Chain A
């Protein structure tokens, strides 16, 4: 159920062009402070848009997953206690093998999580690089320019500064249009994937218990007649 829930959330919030995510992410929470001499002081709290998106989509995913999961589990437990054969929700909708047992084909099966990891890693590395380059440009390049001018002449310093600026520009250009959405999607996918695997193991264990109960109920007691 975790994956189905993820599919719904992905389509709802992150479908390219139509997903709600891009709208939610930019809507930081506006704050209006009444000031005595000015009519009011209104501003938006930074990062609240992405936070809101993260919470909304994660909440939706959690709700969509937990409700059927818990209900299914509860019903399963009841049936199991009554030693009845139980058909899980995923079995009823014909997705049991796909979402519990299947691990092939490997590429398709792992594609979403792999992409999420790649994107997240990329975003992280990019952010780190941007920070490092900016720091170099702001604090090290002026000192370096002086030292270079004293050693080799004044012509090298602008070159180094321009090269670092070019790299920084490139990294800034390489970023997505809405990096926060991508990061949230990646995080959501990774979280959901981990949950999905946990759920797989859970259902497999549960299924084993159901099978054991079924086997037990189908067994017949052998009565050994008492010795005459």
Chain B
């Protein structure tokens, strides 16, 4: 018999046990047995350490079985079935966790079952051996003969006496509440050791090592008492620190201080432009559908040097050039009611204006080509048009009669107003969002959310104060009402005005001689003129008569044409007056409609402003909370030993060591962070004398947020907050959605970015351990060995085995590894794929 206090590896050559270079995990099912509440904490702890493997399904937990209850065979089968599914193995292969899909010959399917039986609480000790034996049988029968099952038993507390019934389990571990040497052990320590054992027995070669050890001794082992310790990275602590930092970074631009006068001035001007652009665009869009022909909404929007547009007050100008007239379209019902079949002639004044255009000649053309174009133009536009217009002089024009049209006209006004309202409904929402709720990164992010609030206030103020639009350089007064009575009254007013104008024209027309009158007047003058010519010339009478006749005809025609032209001018004035009158009336209806929309927009803006003020308050509170969380986690979480676990933390990669303004070469490297302050840390020195800075995870998250914002908005926004607020404006605030939900969106983004930025693999356990004073220069081996004192075990007929669990054996060849003075002499290295260093000390009790 050998004492476990002595190294019992005397017959085991060091070279005999060699850890694998790459460990391939074996799918494991953990079956807790005992009181369910007892395992909750254990599950959580194991989950934190084996998170990735649990999510891949390599390590699974079964619901806790009570030894006092009958064994749920079906439930066990249901838990084993997914582990035997081909898809599951295929997924493992795809992830590179295994090299082969199990087959029946060279690579049998291997499954591991870890049965944890808690005998510290509960009264099942008497019957538990039989119950466990039955459980092992069920597992084996469910898995089938061809599956290579390893059923491990871990008893919490002293093991049952009848170990013979538990031959189905191997290895059989226990963690007793009395350590080797009879020292009392608390349940917390048992839990810690248990979680270490579960971690390393499922994800390391520890079981193989035990097998090897026992085989080497060539003695049957009964129970193995274990003690285990681990040095690990406190992933949660680093995350807990990183998340509020990232959230704080995202919130910071929203919470900038009060505005300066310069910023206010800038924002006021921008707000004015937005209000003008909004009104202008509404009008322009409405212009496409409004009942006018040849109208043009002129808004002087000159491009400025920095690519922005400057908008003046919108104005309905007349036709192509200002002052020519904006006319009702002959196509609208209103026109038909007023002018009947002649509506096109009465309203389409533009066509006549077009005839006065000049030919557009390309200066590069040859002389004869220019001449040809000029001649063609002259023929078409001057000669033919002149003939047409000359003939039109004598074409009778029927003057419209507005009597008995009042009712129809009032109805047409009403329909027109309703139509315009409908058109506005279609276009308003998009314009509202695009113009009034657009976030300008250049202007707004100088001063954060305060700038947005101020900006909205200014837009609302401008919308309220300014006229909707102008026509012929005068503001169009919106119709005061849109009731039926108003339409009737306005029709009466309009018709009264038009009839007055028509009476004036008729009076002028009546004062003109017709061709019959001309003849009557000139016939009398003929003999008189003949006599006069006769007196002056003494021509023969017939000659004088003919000459006088000729003179009278020419004189009459000239005068007739002159006065016809004047008549047409008067007619044109009348047409313009009528058009102008109707246009003003219709524009007043449009102005009413637009005014209504503008008022609605104003009300909505105030509502949005309230939401943003509320949102701003929430953000400020959240920012403060994030600040508190950061400070608290910085203070609370320090690397420290907790029983058998030594938690290491390091915020260097997460938060960086320095801060720099991103510009120059770093601006190219981290484009989304241009002109921002980034947290960085020094990278590997390339020997070129330059700093090689690496972005901290915090700034990496910020960079990603900005890059995503830029990508999702086609480069419109290059900062996350602009993009976020723009989206919040258009999708949430504009529809009165809860600001809390908007904030939740922001927090979710922050959380997502934190998860993306957090890279656990970069936190190398060896490096971190060397940075800690307690563990550096090999002291970690000493701490691990001492902390892994076996819980249980007998001093007689037993052997002590020590395993150091390490993520890679290469590092162990360095000075702080196996050659270190603190390295346990009897320890063997066991490979484990997770970023932890552990130690398990086992007391193997022989039969």
Which residues of chain A are within 8 angstroms of B544 by Cβ–Cβ distance? 16
- B682 CB → nearest A CB, Å: 100
Question: Are the C-beta atoms of A115 and B525 separated by less than 8 Å?
Answer: yes
Q: Which residue of B lies closest to A118 (CB)?
A: B532
Stretch at the interface among B16-24, B554-562, B596-604: B554-562
A103 touching B527 in the complex, CB below 8 Å, given contacts A112-B521, A122-B535, A177-B534: no
> Smallest CB–CB gap between A13 and chain B, Å?
9
Name the residue among B513, B530, B545, B548 with the largest chain A CB count within 10 angstroms. Answer: B513
Determine if A227 is an interface residue (Cβ-Cβ < 8 Å): no
Please measure, in the bound complex, the distance between the C-alpha atom of A173 and the C-alpha atom of B555, giving whole angstroms. 29
| A109 engages B531 (CB within 8 Å) | no
- Cα-based distance from A111 to B522 in the complex (angstroms): 7
A108 engages B559 (CB within 8 Å): yes
Kindly report which residue of chain A lies nearest to residue B535, judged by CB atoms: A176
Chain A residues whose C-beta falls within 8 Å of the C-beta of B482 in the assembled complex: none
Give the residues from 94 to 137 in chain A that come closer than 8 angstroms, CB to CB, to chain B.
Answer: 94-95, 97-99, 101-105, 107-109, 111-112, 115-116, 118-119, 122
Contact of B524 among A10, A16, A99, A173 (CB under 8 A): A10
What residues on B are CB-neighbors of A111 within 8 Å? 521-522, 525, 529, 552, 555
B289 within 8 A of A: no
Provide the bound-state CA to CA distance between A16 and B518, in Å: 19
Tell me if B520 counts as interface (CB < 8 A to partner A).
Answer: yes
Task: Tell whether, in the assembled complex, residue B513 and residue A109 are in contact, meaning their CB atoms are under 8 Å apart.
Answer: yes
CB–CB A115/B528 < 8 A: yes
What residue of chain A has the Cβ atom nearest to residue B563's Cβ? Answer: A105
Q: What's the least CB distance linking A180 to chain B, in Å?
A: 12
Tell me whether A10 and B521 are in contact (CB under 8 A): no
Instruction: Verify B521–A94 contact, CB threshold 8 A.
Output: no
Whether A54 is near chain B, meaning CB under 8 Å from some CB there, is no
Are A112 and B542 within 8 A (Cβ)?
no
B73 within 8 A of A: no
Residue pair A98, B513 in contact (C-beta under 8 Å)? yes
Given the interface pairs A16-B545, A95-B520, the reply to whether A102 lies near B511 with Cβ below 8 Å is yes
Residues of chain A with a CB closer than 8 A to B518's CB: 108
Is the Cβ of A108 less than 8 Å from the Cβ of B555? yes
B510 within 8 A of A: yes
Residues 74-92 of chain A, each 1 if its beta carbon lies under 8 Å from chain B, else 0: 0000000000000000000
Determine the distance from Cα of A102 to Cα of B516 in the docked complex, in whole angstroms: 12
| Most B CB within 10 A of own CB, among A16, A17, A107, A175 | A16
Q: Which residues on the A side are within 8 Å of B532 (C-beta)? A: 115, 118-119
In angstroms, Cα B531 to Cα A115, docked, is: 10
- The segment out of A29-37, A155-163, A182-190 that lies at the interface is A182-190
A101 touching B528 by the CB < 8 A rule? no
Q: Give the residues in chain A near B530, CB-CB below 8 Å.
A: 16
A181 vs B518: C-alpha distance when bound (angstroms): 25
Identify A98's interface contact among B520, B538, B548, B556, CB under 8 A: B520
Q: Return chain A residues, CB-CB under 8 Å to B545.
A: 16-17
Chain B residues positioned under 8 Å from A177 (CB to CB): 534, 541
Across-interface contacts of A174 in B (CB, < 8 A) = 535
A105 touching B520 in the complex, CB below 8 Å, given contacts A15-B527, A19-B527:
no
Which of the 9-residue segments A1-9, A140-148, A213-221 touches chain B?
A1-9
Interface size class on chain A is: 35 or more
B528 touches A116 (CB 8 A): yes
Q: Are A6 and B513 in contact (CB under 8 A)?
A: no
Q: Does A203 contact B (CB under 8 A)?
A: no
Q: What is the CA–CA distance of A95 and B510 in the complex, to the nearest angstrom?
A: 11
Task: Flag if B529 contacts A115 (CB, 8 Å).
Answer: yes
- Shortest beta-carbon distance from B621 to chain A in Å: 74
Complex contact A108–B535 (CB within 8 A): no
In the bound complex, CA of A104 to CA of B562 (Å): 11
**Distance A150 CA – B534 CA, assembled complex (angstroms):** 45
- Residues of B within 8 Å of A119, CB to CB, are 528, 531-532, 535
A182–B531 contact, CB under 8 A?
Answer: yes
Cα distance A177–B525 in the bound complex, in angstroms = 18
- Residue B7 is within 8 A (CB to CB) of chain A in the complex: no
- Decide: B535 and A10 in contact? CB cutoff 8 A: no
When C-beta atoms are compared, the residue in chain A nearest to B567 turns out to be A104
Q: Which residue of A lies closest to B517 (CB)?
A: A98
B526, B538, B555 interface centre (most CB from chain A within 10 Å) = B526
Cβ of B346 to closest chain A Cβ, rounded Å: 23
Asked whether A104 and B511 contact (CB < 8 A) given A98-B517, A122-B535, A177-B534, the answer is: yes
Q: How far is the CB of B810 from chain A (nearest CB, A)?
A: 116
Contacts of A63 in B (CB 8 A): none
Q: Which residues of A contact B (CB under 8 A)?
A: 3-4, 6-7, 10-11, 14-17, 19, 94-95, 97-99, 101-105, 107-109, 111-112, 115-116, 118-119, 122, 173-177, 181-182, 185-186, 189
Q: List 30 A-B contacts (CB under 8 A).
A: A6-B524, A10-B523, A10-B524, A10-B527, A16-B530, A16-B544, A17-B542, A97-B517, A98-B517, A99-B517, A102-B510, A104-B511, A104-B563, A105-B513, A105-B562, A105-B563, A108-B555, A108-B560, A109-B521, A111-B552, A111-B555, A112-B521, A112-B522, A112-B528, A115-B528, A118-B532, A119-B531, A185-B527, A186-B528, A189-B528
Residues of B within 8 A of A (CB): 510-514, 516-518, 520-532, 534-535, 538, 541-542, 544-545, 548, 552, 555-556, 559-560, 562-563
Given contacts A105-B513, A112-B524, 17 further A-B contacts (CB under 8 A): A4-B520, A10-B524, A16-B542, A16-B545, A97-B510, A98-B516, A102-B510, A102-B517, A104-B511, A104-B513, A105-B560, A108-B556, A111-B521, A111-B529, A177-B541, A182-B528, A182-B531
